[in-house]
Structure 1
Amino acid sequence: MSLHTLKAIVFDLDNTLVSSNINFTLLRQQLNCPQDCDLLMHLEQFGDQEQQRLSNIIRDHEIQDAAASSLMPGAKELIHWLTQQGYFIGVITRNCRSAATTKILAHQLPIESLLTREEFAPKPAPDSLYHLMNKWQLNPQEILYVGDHYYDIETAINANCQSCFISNGLSESNAPSQANFSYPTLLGLLNSLKVC
């Protein structure tokens, strides 16, 4: 795996490019979702009407969170540099489109392609990365997927792309062992790309 081959960088959104402080304990209580169950998968067991009601609860939490978000360390600098260098830039998020768009516009991030759970199966399904590969006419190894969660690394692996884990300053031992690259913040990735 090598950063030299990259032509596109695709990011997770929450706690990768911008902060997120959703109270997942409260959200799980409101959805009656067990701790060990994925929130979006939890919804799939219900009929359409109940699924929509629960989905609206998640959406309300996401939209409230979007209004209070801030940039993660290095996000502005990295996106600016990638834009200058001519990389394709995308975001794949499990967020709803409304909340994701609010965050991207609020922080003036020039993201060319935004894909949410409303367009494609949510991560770790690789569908959204496949879409970007086709759109940009790139092979998997020319794309790096960057995120702060093991779902992000799984998504990259499932699409055969390169992966980068951002630990947000937490112990590097938290990094999934399958990640091709790992940095405390986005500035670490930026510095590595600059010397390629």
Structure 2
Amino acid sequence: MFTQMRAALNIPKSTDILDHIHSLPEPAQSEAQTAIRAIESEAMIHQEAQPGLMELIDGPVMHLLQNFLPGKTFAPIVTRDFRPPKPSPDGILHIANAWGLDDGGKGLIMVGDSIDDMAAGHGAGSATVLLAREGNEDLREHEQTGLVIERLDELIGILEEGFEERSPSTNND
């Protein structure tokens, strides 16, 4: 999907998509947003759930919602419209602040599959968990990756038992 977005915007892989769009003058910015939304809409039609997602939702997430947060919704939700975007930690810190956490992002876990996800989590002081997939193999040993999982349902044990992130020296072995 990101390859399609970059092609539609005629930008190289080294250029951040959102930064590029926000740097455009109008009406080019609106046209770029429309092109990106069309690519995302098409991708959503063909999207499949990550392995382990339903087990994660059926387990601890439903338990939390039913027993401790009945009638609550997930809020705040940080989308690509939030500025500044990842890799800035500001989105995570915004969530921590909205939840009344006094330690910034230190009590949170950032789960993601990109360097921007790991950098945002690390920058916020959060634990970072990489969801391994084809194309992000280089992030498995990255200094900002605290733990690597292959499937989302691996988070169930992590949420129940906790984990220790790898130290930077361990990541570079």
Fold shared per TM-score above 0.5:
yes
Residue matched to 2:74: 112
Q: Return closer, same or farther for 1:36/1:173 CA change in 2, 3 Å cut-off.
A: closer
- Say which SS state the counterpart of residue 122 (structure 2) adopts: helix
Equivalent residues, number: 152
Q: Return closer, same or farther for 1:154/1:47 CA change in 2, 3 Å cut-off.
A: same
Instruction: Say whether the 8 Å CA contact 2:21–2:32 is kept in structure 1.
Output: yes
Unmatched 5+ stretches in structure 2: 66-71, 163-173
Identity %: 26
Aligned residue runs from structure 1 range 72-91, under 5 A:
72-86=50-64
Q: Select the residue among 25, 28, 33 that pairs with 1:47.
A: 25
Q: Return closer, same or farther for 1:84/1:54 CA change in 2, 3 Å cut-off.
A: closer
Instruction: Say whether the 8 Å CA contact 1:167–1:183 is kept in structure 2.
Output: yes
Q: CA deviation at 1:172?
A: 5.9
Residue matched to 1:127: 90
Aligned residue runs from structure 1 range 5-84, under 5 A:
22=1, 24-84=2-62
Provide the TM-score with structure 2 as the length reference: 0.75
Unmatched 5+ stretches in structure 1: 1-21, 88-109
Q: Which amino acid aligns with 1:157?
A: H
The alignment yields a C-alpha RMSD, in angstroms, of: 2.5
Higher relative contact order (CA 8 A, sep 6+): 1
Provide the TM-score with structure 1 as the length reference: 0.67
What is the rounded CA distance, in whole Å, between the counterparts of 1:55 and 1:126 in structure 2? 23
Q: Which amino acid aligns with 1:65?
A: A
Instruction: Say whether the 8 Å CA contact 1:172–1:184 is kept in structure 2.
Output: no
Residue matched to 1:99: none
Residue matched to 1:188: 154
Larger of the two Rg values belongs to structure = 2
- Structure number with higher strand proportion: 1
Q: List per-residue Cα deviations over 1:125-157 (Å, max 9, x = no partner).
A: 222211211121123221101001111010111
Q: Which amino acid aligns with 2:110?
A: Y
Instruction: Say whether the 8 Å CA contact 1:169–1:184 is kept in structure 2.
Output: no
What is the rounded CA distance, in whole Å, between the counterparts of 1:172 and 1:56 in structure 2? 31
